[in-house]
Structure 1
């Protein structure tokens, strides 16, 4: 890095060298202690490298979720990934996007202010064509969206915002809402032109059509949580994980899962020759089981309860009598090994 000395410092060094008070080596050390940092007052950097990196991590999750949801909705191969995360002025962002385009103004509740989600026209019309029953092939369309097309894109953007909420959940309980869709970037002045923004650029591919999806967040909007945009906070919040809200969500999701439950009377091991020779009227004696022994109620493949058979109305039923103590999985493996040795 080139060091710059003031005129007074230069005069002092020349005087000291000429009088013999100092050596040239000492003068070199003085210049090495000098540290000049370049600062552009017209475009000050407000996001640190660590904060930019954390924003990138968050939106990599957003890209994965969006890839899955759009692929399912369009029934087509969709790929979304983070291309870059940069900070620039809002004016530079507006000048970099085409016109007309699909430009959604997003309310970032509970944060104050708005953000911008811009989708490249090639991707927009490819999505619309797929939803209207077409092949989704890209075409050089350069026009504003019709009312029907605007309504279709609203539903797509609302689904994308659901992915954004989940991606931001480790930092804040974000509730993004679609405000309006503009086609002319000049009509979307959410902050002054000189205000700094963080721009997340996502490369988006729908079948063979490629384009960009840009998410622009002003510094004024993200400022209240800027201290949380650190790798330490982000990963510690992931490790915490077991909040009451997360547990309730897990319970709701588990409540709808079907699990097989089997009441087992008893069991026996037979050779394939014996099984093939079984015929009507044969009696198979179950090992280690008597008429007074309880039946075993299995959930999945795990024995969980003792029970006894009965009936409720016209239905066959079992009554749970005792909970079987949980057995560690390694015990099952040891028993299986011993059985093989025998």
Structure 2
């Protein structure tokens, strides 16, 4: 659900917001912004309205006005359910955060759950689950079968069917209850649970959610790490989950730069190969294989990614 679709609670303000949306869709963002300003005069506490105003102002070339509107969003919503801090980063107004707020990611995917697979597969050509499963099978020295696979950020369960025949037990965890409900419909996972992968350094909250330390011999994260930024935290979780010699297979968006990671206009993070290798080494994982690939389309352009197959050293 877009912020502009959330009601202000005032009929007149909502009507002006609807007209503003029509103007924006017709290619008149400056006029749309003026109408949203009028709506917000009636409902100044409407955080979603301020976020929508920021969007219109940005499209109209009014970056400073967008920044002011986003700061108003944060003043009204300290939990940042709309991801205003990420947008402020993209606009150059603040330093890049290590990760997005959990409430933003949870809402994003709860709202997206019903149309997730249709949008991602049919419209955006998403193929990471198939490619990642194939790379695991093709990598030299990989086990033929696994006792316990943990699918982190399992979403609607697209990866599960790709490995189900190769595992005795398959568990999936995600922040979004909406996504987990869709995954349950596939009847592929032996267990599904809600977990926040951004809880490090307090790992206890993650494992209280049902993730059991020291049991998994396969851990996967398909199209998940681009919503985390700094990967130290999630790697601490993976390391604690994994038995010695466990396989960790995952994808990242390719930053296509020598080092570090970046936050893109899509509000997703992209990581360099060097940064990922550094994080892996720091948590006792060794790269066994990797592949570069287009992982989806975005606004008609290919999104380049890196698929990693790694193993925990004893």
Give the TM-score of the pair, scaled to structure 2.
Answer: 0.22
- Which protein shows a greater Rg? 1
Q: Report the structure, 1 or 2, having the larger helix content.
A: 2
Greater length-normalized contact order (CA 8 Å, ≥ 6 residues apart): 1
